[in-house]
Amino acid sequence: MALRKVQFVNDEFYHIFNRGVEGRKIFLDDEDNLRFINSLMVFNDEKPAPWNMCAFWNQRGPSSLVKSGYKPDSPLVEIYSFALMENHFHLLLKQLKDNGVNNFMRKICGYSSYFNKKYQRVGSLFQSRFKAVMVRTDEQLKNAFVYITTNPVSLIEPGWKENGIKDFKKSVKFLREYKWSNYPDYLEKENNYPFIEKDFFLKLFGGANGCSEEVDFWLEHKFEINKFKSILLE
């Protein structure tokens, strides 16, 4: 196996991406999305997660896990942003411990076992090893955050990155209500995903309004692929 070009360093940010094998859908219903999102919280720990308890499995979301008293003892990474699509996912992480990103991704990609058992399939679920880009500057960091946040617009506006948005208001509303990303939490409208480290980006953007202005700007203007190639993975 070829060595990965990206080296994972503590206290550095990384844009992480993976896709279903042959472009297949990897999230087919709400239960699948919740299972993966719960994994982001539960498996972010050096210690084994208590997933052998039925009551724990039945928690319907991260906020429920927090109310139950669950909290990782020794996090591997900090999670700043995520977006789940039908056939892929994006994450924005900071590594906290040596080999933290690799260990975290190895754990959450155990989602494959859950998916295969549920849908009675065998074989690899993901296309390959996850892809990663180190984020080196504040500008890259903003771009990575907004890129991940706006990614779900492709569900209602295919090709918007190349051709621009056709219905701006519809796209803004869709993103602000899209429950399989943490963007609504950044707007302080929701607190569904309490494991997200919101304070850093809210400070970087100057608050919730600054965050939404940055996202809206990306939606309103044609996607300039060359400008943002350093954080693109698809």
pLDDT value at position 203? 94
What pLDDT score was predicted for residue 164? 81
Helix, strand, coil % (nearest 5) of the chain? 45, 15, 40
From the list 106, 102, 96, the residue with the least C-alpha distance to 72 is 96
Angstrom distances, CA of residue 218 to CA of 14, 98, 160: 21, 34, 11
For residue range 32-81, what is the model confidence (pLDDT) as tens digits? Answer: 998 899 889 888 999 887 666 555 656 667 777 777 777 888 999 999 99
- Of 14, 37, 183, 16, nearest in space to 96 by CA: 14
Task: State residue 6's pLDDT score.
Answer: 82
Q: Is the dihedral of CA 149, 155, 156, 160 positive or negative?
A: positive
Percent of the chain with pLDDT over 90: 58
Structure confidence at residue 71 (pLDDT): 80
Interior/surface letters 6-34, b for 16+ CB within 10 angstroms, e for the rest: eebeeeebbbbbbbbeeeeebbeeeebbb
Quote the pTM value: 0.90
- For the chain, residues with pLDDT lower than 70 are 1-4, 50-60, 189, 222-234
Q: What is the pLDDT of residue 232?
A: 53
Give the span between the Cα atoms of 50 and 41, in whole angstroms.
Answer: 12
